[in-house]
Structure 1
Amino acid sequence: MRHTFHLKTLAVAVATLSVASVASAAGLDRSGQDITAFLQDGTYAEAVYTYIDADVTGHDNAYVGSDDKAYTQGKKIDDIAESYDFFRYGVKTDINDTFSVGILYDEPFGAAADYVGDNNFVARGDLDASVNAISEGNASSPTDASNKISLLTQGATAAGIAAQNFAAQAQSATNAQDAANFAAQAEAAQAQAQNLVGQARSLGAAVAAANAEEANTGEGTQVEVRSESVTGILGMKFGKNKNFQVYGGPVLQRVTADVKLRGIAYGPATGYTAHISPDQDYGYLAGIAYSKPEIALKAALTYRSEIEHSMNIAETYPLVAAFGDNPSQGGVIDITTPESINFDFQTGINPTTLATARVRYVPWGDFSIVPPLYTETSKLNPDFPKGLPLVSYDEDQWLVELGLAKRLAPALAVSGTVGWDSGAGNPVTSLGPTEGYYSAGLGAKYNVTENWAISAGGKYLWLGDATGQLPTQKTVADFESNDGFVLGVKVSYQAQ
């Protein structure tokens, strides 16, 4: 009986030590969507504050040319990762020995990046340099581009006339072989005309983008994504000793976002701005848990559904004006936040030591942000007839965290964790250029009274190196040797 008492006390003492273990670096993952507050015994409530500060620096790409994969180390990119914080709240109670109810609040997904300084992600207003970079070296200045556009247009006109003449000769030819030859020449001349028109259009787009760059001089690329989630949970215990529990409930989620693309790194897309208005929609949560109190064992498998949002979006794309259309347009964008699976586990090793494990899976490879004006405009590039997303990821996220907790005194416990986050692929979007992380953390909990406790923790992150690329898969930056830290504090109440 004494061992059982120790282990149960230990489980209570360390239940909230992982306050700083919820920051994730893959995709837009932030809170980790923790539901362990609902799995506590008796009546339980918690309020958690988490602060994250990452140092993400690198170099832009100084290469100018047509090889999208080529990279030449360019100017330094100072820290782009804005520090951010978020809250998590949870309340649960047992209705009787079978049913439990709870409500959880967290901020599951988000992003915060801000480019500053002298690099390709900040609008510098140098027209000549902008035209040269955006045209991939095909024009050195607006004047040079204008002259070449004139020559290309003349060449396209001449090729078009030649195509018409060859086509007419093919029609009037009396010899089948001659007709075939003239038809082939007409086809080749028409292809040449289309190619020259495409080159002229590309140079015109480069000049238009350079003008947008100049109009935004001093502005840097920025992205901010915010989300909030409220989850209601009903649980039912079953089995001979009520060791099993199934639980589930509705999830209300709210999402909003702002994006600004600035600098010559984005080529013709420089100057693009989008505001995605807040939207809320619903999903669900479902899970199953098992507990064995005499050895402080708890295991829970939780599934959260994807949530589909249909959101109003206001886009400004300066390039569009070069083709005679309105560069500022409103529309609707559909964004689906991903489903996820969490596995939480703990077990007593001895009367004063607890082992913990956590695994999380999120299929970020299925996620994308596809703004209508941005995507429709990208179809003007013949290489992307289906259009391009603004943000997408190549791989799914796996997160694994292992920990040990030790009760040092009846009211004091400490813990340590190590973790790994796979990231969501590399190369990755320049709006969030890290590839997962390794982590190490420490935490402590002090029971102020029998029911009230305060916990604090910290974690150090070794962020994965990443290559920043555009949706066109063009390499635009390299980010290496970055790190960050997470701090968290929790106040909790428990009555059994």
Structure 2
Amino acid sequence: MIRTMTTGAAALLATTGLAHAVGLDRSNQDVGLIFEDGNYVELTFAQVNPDVSGTDNELAPGLPRYEYEGVGLDYTQLGFGAKVDITPQISMAVIYDQPFGVDVSYPGDPAVTYFGGTEARLDSDALTVVGRYRINDSFSVHGGLRYEKLSANVTLAGQGYGALSGYNVDLAEDSGTGYLIGAAYERPDIALRVAVTYHSAIEHEFDTVETVGGIPVNLINPALGASSTTTVETPEAINIDLQTGIAADTLAFANIRYAWYDDVIVSPVFFDTAQDGERDNDSLTEIEDNYGITVGIGRRFSDAFSGTVSVGYEAEGSDDLVSPLAPTNGNYSVGIGAQYTVGAAVISAGLRHTWLGDARPETGTPDVDRASFTDNTAVAAGMSIGFRF
């Protein structure tokens, strides 16, 4: 049977699963490289193409309902990792990924649409150093440190934002450090592995510049400074990775991730006070704690070639009223992949199609839905090139 799923095969899940990750997740913070047999290095690349469109609610009697096209922008993902065995019991890995991201842009004239001109960008880079200690053939523990850089820029525009239409906030690049810790149980004779990894929250303090219609907020409210600091935590999360042989040359696998996004509060000082006149952590984000799961089967057809089929699911939120910066609600997906080994090289590629859940972007207090987003999809293609040494 297949003794283990290589990191390249796991990349068929990670790189092609980008379009269905929980919340702002894009890489799932995968540390499966630490379980790779022997010394190994790999490079991964993915391209994700969302097809996200929606329709404004009626802005005023007699006005046509604006059709938003191409709200979700295409994006790429890069990853790199290297793992070495130091002793038979101790191994180390260094992993680069891009864990979080947002690429949203609404077309349309903000004067005659609810969200025309609204945009959001979030970029991230992270470097993880993780070590593993094998207690015996069955049990091991792993842990390490994670260094993370984030930057973001958000513009709110359209009649849905009232007097805040034209608001922009720039969160300058900031870095922070967190940790991960986990344990695994294995039975090599049946290719069984159950690994659990906890990722801590990471705090960022962004130098922040806010403007409305290009005017610095301190000129609108003299009590405010020209710049401020916005404190944001990226979410703590738990990953559970499972695999087991189920027949000769056949492996079943699953990945479950739960992330605590309720604690991700983005509350720049002017935006916060403009909501109700108080500094009480009103947030640009409205993301609930949630989980996502991927399950599948891998099959080795020869010593050189194997393939995978998988399905994914992310639970819907408590209702379909969502932030305009994330105009979908849950999803499900289907993916296929293939892996080819030639000498020391391991080449993997995969494709995933995701059906995005319907949602109604809202603004205001209490929440008022402003548009309807239905029947949206995303396609992700990824590949990985690895070498054993």
Please give the TM-score of this superposition, normalised by the length of structure 1: 0.72
Partner of 1:360: 257
Judged with a 3 Å threshold, the aligned counterparts in structure 2 of structure 1 residues 37 and 12 are, in CA distance, closer, same or farther, namely closer
1:61 aligned partner, one-letter code: N
Partner of 2:376: 482
Of 139, 152, 168, the residue aligned with 1:244 is: 139
278-287 or 361-370, which deviates more: 361-370
Q: CA deviation at 1:86?
A: 1.1
Of 23, 28, 31, the residue aligned with 2:24 is: 28
Q: CA deviation at 1:448?
A: 2.0
Structure 1 unmatched ranges of 5 or more: 1-5, 66-71, 134-212, 214-218
Structure 2 unmatched ranges of 5 or more: none
Judged with a 3 Å threshold, the aligned counterparts in structure 2 of structure 1 residues 440 and 324 are, in CA distance, closer, same or farther, namely closer
Matches within 5 A, 1:127-276: 220-239=117-136, 242-276=137-171
SS at match of 1:405: strand
Partners of 1:346 and 1:416 lie apart in 2 by 14
Judged with a 3 Å threshold, the aligned counterparts in structure 2 of structure 1 residues 10 and 112 are, in CA distance, closer, same or farther, namely closer
How big is the alpha-carbon RMSD for the aligned residues of Structure 1 and Structure 2? 2.5
- 1:102 matched to 2:77? The reply is no
Of 3, 12, 23, the residue aligned with 1:8 is: 3
Judged with a 3 Å threshold, the aligned counterparts in structure 2 of structure 1 residues 59 and 345 are, in CA distance, closer, same or farther, namely same
Do the aligned residues in 2 keep the contact of 1:25 with 1:423 (CA within 8 Å)?
Answer: no
Deviation string, structure 1 residues 62-83 (Cα, Å, up to 9, x no partner): 1559xxxxxx992211120000
Matches within 5 A, 1:248-327: 248-318=143-213, 325=222
Matches within 5 A, 1:426-441: 426-441=320-335
Deviation string, structure 1 residues 105-157 (Cα, Å, up to 9, x no partner): 1111110001113xxxx334xxxx69xx9xxxxxxxxxxxxxxxxxxxxxxxx
Judged with a 3 Å threshold, the aligned counterparts in structure 2 of structure 1 residues 268 and 328 are, in CA distance, closer, same or farther, namely farther
1:244 aligned partner, one-letter code: F
Deviation string, structure 1 residues 391-428 (Cα, Å, up to 9, x no partner): 222x2111111100111111000110011012555311
Q: CA deviation at 1:388?
A: 2.4
Partners of 1:313 and 1:15 lie apart in 2 by 38
Partner of 1:143: none
Partners of 1:357 and 1:366 lie apart in 2 by 26
SS at match of 1:368: coil
SS at match of 1:101: strand
Do the aligned residues in 2 keep the contact of 1:417 with 1:442 (CA within 8 Å)?
Answer: yes
- 1:92 matched to 2:87? The reply is no
Of 356, 364, 386, the residue aligned with 1:463 is: 356
Judged with a 3 Å threshold, the aligned counterparts in structure 2 of structure 1 residues 328 and 78 are, in CA distance, closer, same or farther, namely farther
Do the aligned residues in 2 keep the contact of 1:26 with 1:423 (CA within 8 Å)?
Answer: no
Of 40, 52, 56, the residue aligned with 2:52 is: 56
2:327 aligned partner, one-letter code: P
Of 293, 296, 314, the residue aligned with 1:403 is: 296
Q: CA deviation at 1:20?
A: 1.2
Partners of 1:97 and 1:471 lie apart in 2 by 59
Do the aligned residues in 2 keep the contact of 1:423 with 1:434 (CA within 8 Å)?
Answer: no
Of structures 1 and 2, the larger Rg is shown by 1
Q: CA deviation at 1:328?
A: 8.2
Partners of 2:79 and 2:317 lie apart in 1 by 24
Of 110, 123, 126, the residue aligned with 1:123 is: 110
Partner of 2:386: 492
Q: CA deviation at 1:234?
A: 1.3
- 1:41 matched to 2:37? The reply is yes
Deviation string, structure 1 residues 296-332 (Cα, Å, up to 9, x no partner): 1111100000001111000003596896648983110
Do the aligned residues in 1 keep the contact of 2:8 with 2:348 (CA within 8 Å)?
Answer: no
Partners of 2:142 and 2:97 lie apart in 1 by 18
Partner of 2:233: 336
Partners of 1:270 and 1:83 lie apart in 2 by 25
1:88 aligned partner, one-letter code: G
SS at match of 2:326: coil
Q: CA deviation at 1:7?
A: 2.7
Do the aligned residues in 2 keep the contact of 1:16 with 1:445 (CA within 8 Å)?
Answer: no
Structure with the largest fraction of strand: 2
Judged with a 3 Å threshold, the aligned counterparts in structure 2 of structure 1 residues 323 and 227 are, in CA distance, closer, same or farther, namely closer
SS at match of 1:308: strand
1:364 aligned partner, one-letter code: Y
Of 76, 79, 82, the residue aligned with 2:70 is: 79
Q: CA deviation at 1:17?
A: 3.5
SS at match of 2:189: helix
Judged with a 3 Å threshold, the aligned counterparts in structure 2 of structure 1 residues 63 and 385 are, in CA distance, closer, same or farther, namely farther
2:211 aligned partner, one-letter code: T
Do the aligned residues in 2 keep the contact of 1:355 with 1:404 (CA within 8 Å)?
Answer: yes
SS at match of 2:338: strand
SS at match of 2:2: helix
Of 360, 364, 373, the residue aligned with 2:270 is: 373
The alignment covers a number of residue pairs equal to 383
1:123 aligned partner, one-letter code: P
Q: CA deviation at 1:8?
A: 2.2
Q: CA deviation at 1:43?
A: 0.7
Partner of 1:201: none
Judged with a 3 Å threshold, the aligned counterparts in structure 2 of structure 1 residues 330 and 287 are, in CA distance, closer, same or farther, namely same
Do the aligned residues in 2 keep the contact of 1:368 with 1:390 (CA within 8 Å)?
Answer: yes
Deviation string, structure 1 residues 213-270 (Cα, Å, up to 9, x no partner): 9xxxxx721110011111101111103xx32110111110001000111222211110
Do the aligned residues in 2 keep the contact of 1:314 with 1:328 (CA within 8 Å)?
Answer: no
Do the aligned residues in 2 keep the contact of 1:364 with 1:424 (CA within 8 Å)?
Answer: no
Do the aligned residues in 2 keep the contact of 1:370 with 1:389 (CA within 8 Å)?
Answer: yes
Q: CA deviation at 1:23?
A: 3.7
